[in-house]
């Protein structure tokens, strides 16, 4: 699944996610260390600072540290979640 997300997502793109965005959370492989394979490395603070993304994560009891991948497509955002 992570092979189909862009390799690089810019901080500006994450910051620009607005309150009307549709955010979908996808769980990926629990028990396997995937943090080296996703594209969210270095975006944790930016994801958490975005009110829309933060609210979507908090509703499920998650934090930005749980996000290993992100894909922003117009008004849709996919967050790929991995909890150890």
The predicted structure's pLDDT at residue 84: 60
Q: What is the DSSP letter of 7?
A: S
Q: What is the pLDDT along the chain (84 residues), one digit of tens a residue?
A: 666 778 889 999 999 999 999 999 998 866 555 555 678 889 999 999 999 999 999 999 999 999 999 999 999 999 999 876
Residue 17 exposed, middle or buried by CB count within 10 Å (0-12, 13-18, 19+): buried
Question: Which whole-number Å values give the CA distances from 82 to 2, 5, 12, 41, 43, in the listed order?
Answer: 12, 15, 23, 13, 15
CA distances from 10 to 6, 13, 24, 28, 76 (A): 10, 5, 19, 22, 16
């Amino acid at each position: 699944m992570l092979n189909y997300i862009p390799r690089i997502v810019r901080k500006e793109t994450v910051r620009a996610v607005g309150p009307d965005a549709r955010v979908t959370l996808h769980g990926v492989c629990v028990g396997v260390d995937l943090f080296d394979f996703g594209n969210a490395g270095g975006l944790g603070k930016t994801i958490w600072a975005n009110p829309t993304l933060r609210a979507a994560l908090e509703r499920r009891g998650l934090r930005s540290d749980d996000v290993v991948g992100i894909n922003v497509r117009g008004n849709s955002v996919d967050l790929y979640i991995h909890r150890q």
